[in-house]
């Protein structure tokens, strides 16, 4: 441990081997200190992450060295960010078309990390004036019906009209949040609407390809007034590398609640006798689409396991 004075801060950006640390005492509007990590981190295979609370020391040239990383409350591998306590899952009602299977996949990953998830349906103005009005309205109604019943909060927003933006900003207060979701759903536009003058780079979706171009290139914490948001690269591909097959049912809230009532303790909720989850699906207490996606994800995981 170095004898130099140690200061406390948070890594708000990582770029080209440098960590930009915001000193705790300076508050959100303070100046960041450009730091290198200690050589010993590399030797020990420790990787400082955006979101980490750290102790750092100042070097003579006005830069700094990250000396110690404080224990993390959560850690995401992709995007590589720590101490996130709220995930805003952004899905647009149309352009790209709302994909419930992908939505469930994101939710599985977020439930597995133990981070609280909130759903945000963006581009609600397209639902009102677009040519895909009926499809968009039905998609929005389905999400509200299915996911509110399981206990997820659902926010509807339109960055263009400024609708729902204030309510979402309020929900973020006091949190270190991540905005996740498919590329092109309007995450950057939403952040720009929450923080006027932020001007994050946005990219119009390519209708022909049906997907957006990645507009965000590195992870950075953005101060949005009373909260931080990790602006992260849009990603539309998720795999279950970190997740065991036995964890999958736990990541579906409604199945997690019912599984203690199953006849067998290690019930997979596929075709076992006395399965409380299958009974609930049959009786309409668990949404059919959710159980179908659960079976699909399980098959995908088994297939992956077979290949390795």
125 annotated as ligand-binding = yes
151 annotated as ligand-binding = no
181 annotated as ligand-binding = yes
CA 227 to each of CA 55, 76, 157, 168, 221: distance values in angstroms, whole numbers, following the listed order: 21, 19, 19, 11, 10
120 annotated as ligand-binding = no
Contact 117, 155 (CB under 8 A): no
Q: 3 - beta bridge partners? A: none
For 243-303, the DSSP string reads: --HHHHGGGSHHHHHHGGGSSSTT--SSS-TT-HHHHHHHTTSS-HHHHHHHHHHHHHHHH
Triad 79, 85, 89: Cα angle to 5°:
60
Contact 233, 217 (CB under 8 A): yes
Contact 137, 127 (CB under 8 A): yes
304 annotated as ligand-binding = no
CA separation for the pair 36, 51 (Å, rounded):
16
267 annotated as ligand-binding = yes
- Taking the alpha carbons at both ends of the chain, their separation in whole angstroms is 42
CA 230 to each of CA 28, 63, 88, 97, 240: distance values in angstroms, whole numbers, following the listed order: 14, 24, 10, 25, 22
Structure tokens of 83?
Answer: 């101490």
183 annotated as ligand-binding = yes
CA separation for the pair 126, 92 (Å, rounded):
9
189 annotated as ligand-binding = yes
123 annotated as ligand-binding = yes
159 annotated as ligand-binding = no
For 164-220, the DSSP string reads: THHHHHHHHTT-EEEEE--TTSSHHHHHHHHSTT--------BTTTTBPPP---S-E
Binding-site residues from annotation for GTP: 122-125, 181-189
- Output the known binding site for Zn(2+): 262, 267, 269, 275
Please report, in range form, the residues annotated as the binding site. Answer: 122-125, 181-189, 262, 267, 269, 275
């Amino acid at each position: 441990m170095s004898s130099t004075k140690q200061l406390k801060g948070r890594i708000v950006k990582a770029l080209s081997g440098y960590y930009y640390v915001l000193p705790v005492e300076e508050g959100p509007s303070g100046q960041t200190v450009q730091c290198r990590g200690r050589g010993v981190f590399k030797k020990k295979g420790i990787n400082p992450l955006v979101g980490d609370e750290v102790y750092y020391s100042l070097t003579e040239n006005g830069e700094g060295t990250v000396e110690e990383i404080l224990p993390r409350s959560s850690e995401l591998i992709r995007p590589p960010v720590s101490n996130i306590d709220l995930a805003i899952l952004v899905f647009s009602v149309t352009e790209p078309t709302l994909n419930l299977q992908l939505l469930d996949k994101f939710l599985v990953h977020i439930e597995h990390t133990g981070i609280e998830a909130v759903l945000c349906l963006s581009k609600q103005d397209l639902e009102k004036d677009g040519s895909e009005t009926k499809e968009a309205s039905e998609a929005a109604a389905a999400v509200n019906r299915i996911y509110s019943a399981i206990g997820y909060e659902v926010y509807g927003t339109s960055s263009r009209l400024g609708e729902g933006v204030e309510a979402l900003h309020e929900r973020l207060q006091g949190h270190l949040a991540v905005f996740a979701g498919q590329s092109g759903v309007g995450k950057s536009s939403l952040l720009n609407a929450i923080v006027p003058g932020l001007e994050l780079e946005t990219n119009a979706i390519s209708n022909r390809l049906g997907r957006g171009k990645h507009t965000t290139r590195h992870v950075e914490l953005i101060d949005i007034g009373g909260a931080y948001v990790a602006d992260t690269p849009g990603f539309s591909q998720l795999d279950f590398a970190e997740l065991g097959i036995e964890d999958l049912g736990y990541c579906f809230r409604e199945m997690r609640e019912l599984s203690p009532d199953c006849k067998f303790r290690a019930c997979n909720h596929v075709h076992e006798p006395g399965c409380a989850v299958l009974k609930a699906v049959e009786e309409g207490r668990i949404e059919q689409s959710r159980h179908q996606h659960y079976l699909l994800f399980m098959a995908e995981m088994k297939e992956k396991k077979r290949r390795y």
